Amino acid sequence: MSSSLVGWKDLPLGAVAFISAKEYPTGEWAVFQPKIDESKCIKCGLCWMYCPDSVYRWDGESVPVPDLDHCKGCGICEVECPTKAIQMVRV
Amino acid sequence: MALNGDEAVAWAVKQSNVDVVSAYPITPQTIIVERISEFVNDGEMDAEFIHVESEHSALSAAWGAALAGARAFTATAANGLALMWEILYITASTRAPVVMAVVNRALSAPINIHNDHSDTMGARDSGWIQIYSEDAQEAYDNTIMAFKIAEQALFPVMVTLDGFTISHTLQNVIVLPDDVVSDFVGVRKIPRIKLPRIHGEKEIPLMLNPKYPITFGPLDLYDYYFEHKVQQNEAMKETFPIIERVHKEYGEISGRSYEPVFMIPYRTDDADVVIFGLSSTMSVVRKVVDELRAEGKKVGAIRLRVFRPFPANIIRKELSKFHAVGILDRCISFGGEGGPLFTEVRSALYRSSSRPIVHDYIYGLGGRDLPRKLIVKIFEELLSAREEPESPVVRYVGVRE
Amino acid sequence: MKWGDVPLIEIRWHGRGGQGVWSGSAVLAYAAIKAGKYAQSFPQFGPERLGGPVTAFNRIDDEPIVERGPIYEPDIVIVIDPSLVKPRYVSSLIEGLKPGGKLLVNSEGDPSSIRSQLSIPDEFEVWSVDATTIALEEIGRASPNTTMLGLLLAATNLLPIEYLEEGIRWRWSGDVAQKNINALKRAMKEASVDRAKEVIRA
Amino acid sequence: MSTWKPDIKELARKELKTRPIESGHRLCAGCGAGIIIRQIAMAARKPIVWITATGCVEVATTIFPYTSWNVPWAHNAFENAAAVGSGVEAARKKLYRSKRFQGDPDVELDYDVVVLGGDGGTYDIGLQAISGAFERGDKILYVLYDNEAYMNTGIQRSGGTPFGARTTTTPVGRVIKGKIQFKKPIVDIMVAHRIPYAATISSAYWNDAIVKLRKGFEAEGPAFIHAFSTCPLGWGNETSETIKIMKLAVETCVFPLYEVENGQYKLTGPTLAIAKNPDRKKPVEEYLKLQARFRHMLRPENKWMVEKFQEWVDREWELLLKKAGL
C-alpha cells in the first residue's frame, strides 16, 4: 500500500476526517465540461444554483466561473441555461 | 441511606453533573429511569431527559449528545442492550464517552427478566470499558467513577449490576454529599485535537461545533479501517492507568478504594484453590471461604471488577500460584469451549510456566440462585482435582439433569 | 510474449465508476470460460459511484485458479479512463507490472509519445486506442470497456474474437450488444503499439 | 412564520464565503442530492449542525480521510439519524442554558440541527426514530432526500419506490414487472404527528424550496421536508436532465409541491398553478419516458401500467386538493 497513507499512530482520534475534499480532483471524472459564452450570459445564476458539485463560483454580479478541477461534467448547467450560453465540450 | 441498586445508580447520576439522559424502560433497569425522571421533574437535576422510543435510539441520542459536548448517560438491560448492539460499536469507535448502567439480565428466548451476564458478555468485544459491581454501594461508586474514566480515556463505560440481586435489593448505601461528588467529577471537559489540513495548527474542541467543524463517522475503505481499529485497541490498553488513578482519587474522597482495582483477592495468600468470578455472587463465595477456612481448608476467592480492558497480566501473575482455579461464568457461549470468563482467563494463563488446573462452572442462568452448598461442592472438587480435565471442560452448577 | 508459455495470465483494470470496468472484466472472464479456460473476474469494492476510481481484476489459466485477492504483479494493465493517463497516476498504473508486460491505455495519443510523456520504462509494451471517441461514436455512451477489449485482442492473441462476442451478447442484448461488438472490432483496427525495447536482465 | 424572500445573488455571495459543502465529494455526476444539500445550507438562518443517516450522501461526502463538509457533521447509523439529532439538540439546549461555554470564542451553541436521510433511512428503517423525535417535539429539521430506492447499495426497492419502477429487487421479470406497490404517503404520516411544519420541495423550484426549508428551520418544533431527488444511476436518466425530470415530476403531479403548517395543507408554486388551471397538468408518460427504470411500462403490452400509474397520480391529486380545501 502506498506510503503516503497515514499509520495508526498518527491518525486523529475517533476516526474524524482530516483532509478537505477540495483536495480531491473530481474534475478528472468528466468527459465533457462547460464552456461559457460570456456574451450570451445574463447572470441569472441558474448554473450556480443547480450545480450538484458546488463547482460554480458566483459573486452575484459577474459571469459565474466553473471550477473545472471539480466539475464532473453532468451537463445540468448546459440544459438549464436559459440563453444557451453554456456548451459542454470534450475535455 | 437505604437504596436499592437501581436507586443508587440514579443517585450517582443525579450528583454527577450529567447534562443529557436518554433512556427507555426495561426490567430490571426501570427504576433507574423512573428515579432520574423524578429528579429532573422535581428540579433536583438540571439535565435534559430524552424519552426515546427504543434502546437503539437511547444510545444513539446519548451519542449525539456526547458529540455535541454533553455528559451523557443511559441505562438498559438484556434485550435492550442487544437492540443497542450496532450503536455500542459506533459509540466506542468514535470515542464518545457515554456512561451506561447495564442491569444484567438474561437474554430471550424464553423471555426471562432475571439475572445472568449473557447481555454484557455478548458486548465484551464492542470497545466499551466494563466494570462489574458487587452490590448497590459499588454500583453507586462505579457510576460516579465511570464518568471520570470515560472522559479521561475517551471510551464509553458500562457499569453493570446484577438484575434484582442488586438492582431491586434495598441495602445500606453511603451517599456522598452532592458537592463532594460534583467537585470530583466536575463538568464535562472537551478534549482538543489538531486537524492541520482543515483548521491549521490550532487545537480545536473535539465536538460538534460550528466554530470549528469536524466530520464524525466517515466511511473507511480497506486503506484505513484496519488502522483505526488498531488505534482503538491500543488506546484501550492505555486505559489501565486511568482506571487506577480515578479509583485512587475516589478512594481519597470516599474512603472506599477497591484495592487492588482490577481484581480483589480474598484470603488467597496461602490458598491452594480459589474461585474466580464476577459481581454479587462473590460476596457469598467469600462467606463460604470463611467457613471452609475454619475447617482448615486452604481456599480463597478472587472477584474480577474490570473485565474490559482485560487485566491479563495481573490475572496471570495472581492465578499462577494456585493448584486449581474454578471460574464462575454466569453466561453460556454456545458451542464454545466454556464461558467467556473461563476462555479468557485460561488463555491468559497459557504463558505461565506453572499453570493451575482450571475448571469452568456455569451457574445461575436466568436468575437461578447459587446456594452455599454448591459453592462448597465446587471448592471440594477443586481441592481434589488432580489434573486438567479432558472433558467436559464445562460443568453446569445447579441444573437438573 | 507467447501466451502458451505463461501458465497464468493476470490482468488489472483501472477506470472509473460508470465506465464498465467490472463489466469489461466480467465479459473477458465469461469469454475465457466459454473458450474452455479457467477464469476469474472481480472488482475492488468501494462505494458504487459513477465516476469514482474503480479497479477490477482478471485471472485466466488453463488450470483451476487458486489465487485470491487483488493482483499485485499483472501481466497486462488496462486503463480505460483517459484521465488516468497522466504522470501523477503512472506509478500506480504500472505498479508491479511484470517486465515485458503490456500497458493498454485509452488515449488519443500515440504509444510512443505516451511513453515519453509519462516516462514509461522501456521494458513495458505500450498500446493505445482512442476508446472514448470510438465508444461515443459506436455506442453513443462514454463506456469504453468493450472497446478496450478490442485493444486487448489487438495486443494479445488471448482468445478468439467469437468468444468475446458471445460474452458481449451475454452481458447486453440486441442492438446494444451489436454496437459494443462494432466498437470492439474498430478498436482492434485502430490500435497502435510501441514495443518494449530489449531489456537485459541481470 | 418567515416572510423572508431568498435573493439568488445574496445566496451566491453567502456560499462564496461559507461553502457548507465543498466540491470534491464523490456523489455521481448529476446527483440531485448535491443540489438539495446546498439549498438546505442556503436556507439556514443560524449556524447548523448536520446529522446524516447512512446512505449515498454520507458515503460519498466523507470517504476517509476526505470530508466535503465545512459544517459540523456526524453520521452514526442508518436507522437512527433522528435520534442522534434529538441528542444533539438536547445537549445544545442544556449547554446553552448552563452558560458553560459562555465567553469561549472557540465554541458556538446557538445553532439549528438538521437531519438528512434518504428514502431507505426515512420510509423504512429510520421511521421509528423519526416518529419518536416528532412525538417528543424535538426541534430538528428532518430532510428526506427521496431518490426512490436504496441507491447506495445499488438500486433496491424501498417504501418510497414508485409503482412499476425497475430496481434490482423489483426486476422486470417474465411474470412480475417492476414494483407492484405504490409509494408510502410519507408526508401524511409525518403530518399525523401534529408537527408544526411539513412540506414537499423540488430543487428545480429553488425559490419555493429554499423558502420552505427556512420555514422548517424556523418552526417551533420538529419540521419535515420531503425533497424529491433525481438519481441518474438508479433512474437511468441523462445526468444533464436531473432538473428537467424534477420539473416534470411536479408538472405531472407525480410529485406535487405543498406545505402543511399546523395541519393546514397549502399548495405552492407550480402545483398551485395547476390546481387553478387543470389543463396544465401533464400526462405521466412525459415524466416516465425520460427514465430507464420505467421503460418497460411504455411497451404496448404494458400500457396498463402507465394507466395504473396515472390513476394513482390522479387519485392522490384529488385527495391533495381536498386536503388543501380546493
| pLDDT surpassing 70 at residue A3 | no
Q: Residue range D192-199: average pLDDT? A: 98
Strands of the sheet containing B20-23, edge to edge, are B48-51, B20-23, B72-76, B99-104, B157-162, B129-132, B306-308
Q: How far apart are CA B275 and CA B329, in angstroms?
A: 11
Residue contact A45–D38, C-beta within 8 A = no
Q: Which of A5, A11, A13 sits opposite B206 (nearest CB)?
A: A13
Report how many domains make up chain A.
1
Which of C19, C21, C81, C83 would you mutate first to test chain A, the one with the most A CBs within 10 A? C83
Q: How far apart are CA B202 and CA D149, in angstroms?
A: 42
How is C131-171 classified by DSSP, letter by letter?
Answer: HHHHHHHHTSSS--HHHHHHHHHHH---S-HHHHHHHHHHH
CATH number of the domain residue C135 falls in: 3.40.920.10
Please choose, from the candidates B83, B101, B90, the residue with its C-alpha nearest in 3D space to the C-alpha of residue B29: B101
CB D198 within 8 A of CB D188: no
Decide if A33 is inside a domain.
Answer: yes
Residue A4 confidence class, pLDDT cut points 50, 70, 90 = confident
CATH number of the domain residue A50 falls in: 3.30.70.20
CB D5 within 8 A of CB D210: no
Q: Note whether C18 contacts D: Cβ–Cβ < 8 A.
A: yes
Q: What is the ipTM of this complex?
A: 0.92
The distance of D56 to chain C (nearest Cα, Å) reads: 9
Decide if C202 is inside a domain.
Answer: no
Residue contact C51–A26, C-beta within 8 A = yes
Q: Note whether C52 contacts D: Cβ–Cβ < 8 A.
A: yes
Q: Which of B214, B218, B227 sits opposite A8 (nearest CB)?
A: B227
Decide if D18 is inside a domain.
Answer: yes
Q: Note whether C160 contacts D: Cβ–Cβ < 8 A.
A: no
| pLDDT surpassing 70 at residue C144 | yes
| Residue B185 CB contacts under 8 Å (≥ 6 apart), including other chains | B16, B17, B144, B147, B148
Q: How far apart are CA B191 and CA D279, in angstroms?
A: 62
Residue contact D63–B20, C-beta within 8 A = no
Full residue range of the structural domain in which residue A53 is found = 25-90
**Would you state the pLDDT for residue A1?**
37
Report how many domains make up chain C.
1
Residue C46 confidence class, pLDDT cut points 50, 70, 90 = low
Mean pLDDT, all residues of chain D:
97
Nearest 5 degrees, angle CA D102-CA D108-CA D113? 130
Render pLDDT for D241-292 as a digit per residue (tens, 0 to 9).
Answer: 999 999 999 999 999 999 999 999 999 999 999 999 999 999 999 999 999 9
Report how many domains make up chain D.
1
**Would you state the pLDDT for residue B393?**
76
Q: Residue range B156-172: average pLDDT? A: 97
| pLDDT surpassing 90 at residue B346 | yes
Residue B342 confidence class, pLDDT cut points 50, 70, 90 = very high
Q: Mark out chain A residues that contact chain C at CB-CB < 8 A.
A: 2, 26, 28-31, 72, 91
Please choose, from the candidates B267, B276, B272, B265, the residue with its C-alpha nearest in 3D space to the C-alpha of residue B348: B276
Percent with pLDDT over 90 in chain D: 98
Which of B89, B220, B227, B229 would you mutate first to test chain A, the one with the most A CBs within 10 A? B227
**Would you state the pLDDT for residue C199?**
58
Q: Which residues from chain D sit within 8 angstroms of residue A10, using beta carbons?
A: none
Full residue range of the structural domain in which residue C131 is found = 3-194
Q: Which residues from chain A sit within 8 angstroms of residue D26, using beta carbons?
A: 24, 26
Q: Which of B388-392, C93-97, C137-141 is predicted with the least confidence, judged by mean pLDDT?
A: B388-392
Decide if D2 is inside a domain.
Answer: no
- The DSSP symbol for D280 reads G
| Residue B200 CB contacts under 8 Å (≥ 6 apart), including other chains | none
Residue C2 confidence class, pLDDT cut points 50, 70, 90 = very low
Q: Residue range D105-117: average pLDDT? A: 98
Q: Same CATH topology for B2-185 and B263-397?
A: yes
Render pLDDT for C160-190 as a digit per residue (tens, 0 to 9).
Answer: 999 999 999 999 999 999 999 999 999 999 9
**Would you state the pLDDT for residue B389?**
75
Decide if A8 is inside a domain.
Answer: no
Render pLDDT for A52-82 as a digit per residue (tens, 0 to 9).
Answer: 999 999 999 999 999 999 999 999 999 999 9
Topology of domain B2-185, CATH: Rossmann fold (3.40.50)
Render pLDDT for B97-154 as a digit per residue (tens, 0 to 9).
Answer: 999 999 999 999 999 999 999 999 999 999 999 999 999 999 999 999 999 999 999 9
| Residue D83 CB contacts under 8 Å (≥ 6 apart), including other chains | B22, B52, B56, B57, B58, B60, B61, B64, D129, D132, D133
Full residue range of the structural domain in which residue D274 is found = 8-323
**Would you state the pLDDT for residue C198?**
64
Strand partners, C25: none
Decide if D3 is inside a domain.
Answer: no
Render pLDDT for B304-336 as a digit per residue (tens, 0 to 9).
Answer: 999 999 999 999 999 999 999 999 999 999 999
| pLDDT surpassing 60 at residue B66 | yes
**Would you state the pLDDT for residue C88?**
85
Strand partners, B102: B76, B160
Decide if D235 is inside a domain.
Answer: yes
Render pLDDT for C3-25 as a digit per residue (tens, 0 to 9).
Answer: 444 579 999 999 988 888 999 99
Q: How far apart are CA A27 and CA C83, in angstroms?
A: 9
Q: Note whether D272 contacts C: Cβ–Cβ < 8 A.
A: no
| pLDDT surpassing 80 at residue D1 | no
- Helical H segments across B94-224, by residue range: 118-122, 136-153, 178-185, 196-199
Please choose, from the candidates D84, D110, D114, the residue with its C-alpha nearest in 3D space to the C-alpha of residue B66: D84
Render pLDDT for B248-288 as a digit per residue (tens, 0 to 9).
Answer: 999 999 999 898 999 999 999 999 999 999 999 999 999 99
Residue C1 confidence class, pLDDT cut points 50, 70, 90 = very low
Render pLDDT for C61-70 as a digit per residue (tens, 0 to 9).
Answer: 999 999 888 9
Decide if A76 is inside a domain.
Answer: yes
Q: What three-state secondary structure class fits D282?
A: coil
- Helical H segments across B20-135, by residue range: 30-41, 55-67, 78-93, 118-122
CB D216 within 8 A of CB D197: yes
Residue D61: closest C-alpha in chain B:
B218
The residue written with cell numbers 486511568 in the block is B242
CATH number of the domain residue D200 falls in: 3.40.50.970
Q: Where do the DSSP E strands lie in chain D?
A: 48-52, 66-67, 73-75, 112-118, 141-146, 197-202, 223-228, 258-261, 264-267
Helix orientation angle between D81-98 and D127-136, rounded to the nearest 10 degrees? 30
| pLDDT surpassing 50 at residue D143 | yes
Render pLDDT for D40-82 as a digit per residue (tens, 0 to 9).
Answer: 999 999 999 999 999 999 999 999 999 999 999 999 999 999 9
Please choose, from the candidates B176, B260, B258, the residue with its C-alpha nearest in 3D space to the C-alpha of residue B1: B176
Kindly indicate whether the domain formed by B263-397 is annotated with CATH number 3.40.50.920.
Answer: yes
Decide if C200 is inside a domain.
Answer: no
Q: Where are the domains of chain B?
A: 2-185, 263-397
Q: How far apart are CA D220 and CA D196, in angstroms?
A: 7
Nearest 5 degrees, angle CA D233-CA D234-CA D236? 70
Q: Residue range B156-173: average pLDDT? A: 97
**Would you state the pLDDT for residue C120?**
95
